[in-house]
Structure 1
Amino acid sequence: MKYGPDISRIASLIGDPARANMLTALMSGKALTATELAAEAGVTPQTASSHLARLEQGGLLSFRKQGRHKYAALASEQVAQVLEMLMGIAARAGHTRTRTGPRNQALREARICYNHLAGDCGTRMFDRLIERDLLIQDGDDLRLTDIGKTFMRGFGIDLPKLVKGKTPMCRTCLDWSERRSHLAGSLGRALLSRIEDLGWARRDRDTRIVTFTPQGRQAFDALFG
């Protein structure tokens, strides 16, 4: 008899095409209603409700109610990281759902991965932080250095607030399109929020694409390029 975690159960939940589409839609970090997720999956609201219940029971989704609506979101950043890695495996194996086009290229350039910046911009930002010794990586351990803390404070990041949070400050996440790491954790989330607050970039409401303004891209490249 085999003992240990049953990965086949989780794999079967993610493996259904409709549920996979729902989970991918939630990678934007935005909570969605069952009706919205039904449209993403191409199924009826009744079928969507059944899928969502199974995903919640499997620990992949969480729900919260606001007014008359009930919203679904990924259960944790860990779930988002697993999905991002599976996207990378699918991309390397040539399993893509659409032909390469402008939207595909935009996703590869800059996109949301749950709550942090991914794509070419995300991996270049991570590489630059490592090169400048603002972050130190030792195996799976990733930490902010003293000069990194000074840099982040200067950029307007509230580090004491991040330290008090439950989410680890620094995490690596394997980028599906670049096949290299980008920065996750509360620091990755704070950096993306700061980039948006500065008006450098904005999120597309209907996709995970992050679009930089010309001035924002120039400022981003000067700092992280």
Structure 2
Amino acid sequence: MNPNIAKISSLLSDPSRSSILLTLMDGRIHPAGELAYLANIKPQTASFHLKKLLEEKLISVEKHGRHRYYRLSNSDTANMIEQLLRMAPKAKVTSLKDSKEKSDLHFARTCYDHLAGYVGVQMTHSLVEQGILKKVDLNFEVTSEGSLFFSKLGINEEHQRHKRRAFARCCLDWSERQHHIAGALGNALLVRMLEEEWIVRMPKTRAVRMTQSGKTAFEKYFKVNI
């Protein structure tokens, strides 16, 4: 086995490190203390695990004064975690709280920096059915009708194309087992939804909640009745 693969596998096999990485899948930066709290471990233990993840460049760190804030290193790392989630056995639900959290995640969540879950998949399918996007292999192409659509939505397509990353990538959703849109364009859509408060982030989870204005907007723009 490639030794690098073995090392990464060893890192991900630890429950505390896995919990830290899953928290960082919301695409935001988090202080070490918060990551320790959410992983239910001591701050000193979290520091040890964060150091290991930094060494393998799975995460990055920003220093602001005495404080350090962590995030996933890039979208490739997020994509790897998402695919591992797809292959992982389903976790047992042991309480009403677990059931609610699972339901919220399956309905709508952030997958690093784009929208995933049932809502993300339904939005993507609608964009393809409307002829706004065209699926080509494992990427999406924007049609001429799509260029007009994104312009009306306030998204600068050319600006997204010139970013140093994939433009509109197919990301296989671990809960829906279907593709949703990722890449620069997927991120631009998520940013617009958050700015317009069509969706709002929920505390201590990757799940997002759709607002009433969001339901109206999704029906108007994406022809999706949530």
The SS at the match of 1:157 is: coil
TM-score, structure 2 as length reference? 0.91
Once residues 57 and 184 of structure 2 are traced to their aligned partners in structure 1, the CA distance between those partners, rounded to angstroms, is 21
Once residues 135 and 23 of structure 2 are traced to their aligned partners in structure 1, the CA distance between those partners, rounded to angstroms, is 31
1:176 equivalent to 2:174? Answer: yes
1:27 equivalent to 2:38? Answer: no
1:13 equivalent to 2:27? Answer: no
Runs of 4+ in 1 over 2 A off after TM superposition: 93-100
Q: 1:60 to 1:29 in 2, by over 3 A?
A: same
1:150 equivalent to 2:178? Answer: no
Matched with 2:90 is 94
What displacement does 1:96 show?
A: 4.4
What displacement does 1:5 show?
A: 6.8
Once residues 37 and 54 of structure 1 are traced to their aligned partners in structure 2, the CA distance between those partners, rounded to angstroms, is 14
5 Å-filtered alignment, 1:80-119, equals 80-90=78-88, 93-96=89-92, 99=95, 101-119=99-117
One-letter amino acid matched to 1:185: G
Answer whether contact 2:140 2:181 (CA < 8 A) is retained.
no
Q: 1:29 to 1:141 in 2, by over 3 A?
A: closer
5 Å-filtered alignment, 1:1-225, equals 6-90=4-88, 93-96=89-92, 99=95, 101-224=99-222, 225=224
What displacement does 1:133 show?
A: 2.1
Once residues 83 and 90 of structure 2 are traced to their aligned partners in structure 1, the CA distance between those partners, rounded to angstroms, is 14
Once residues 215 and 38 of structure 1 are traced to their aligned partners in structure 2, the CA distance between those partners, rounded to angstroms, is 35
**Identity of aligned pairs, percent?**
38
Q: CA-to-partner distance for each residue in 1:10-38, whole Å, 9 max, x for gaps? A: 11111100000000000111111111111
Q: CA-to-partner distance for each residue in 1:137-193, whole Å, 9 max, x for gaps? A: 222233222221111111110223212211211011111111111111111111111
TM-score, structure 1 as length reference? 0.91
**Which stretch shifts more, 128-137 or 181-190?**
128-137
The SS at the match of 1:177 is: coil
Size of the aligned set, in residue pairs, is: 221
Give the alignment's Cα RMSD to 1 decimal. 1.7
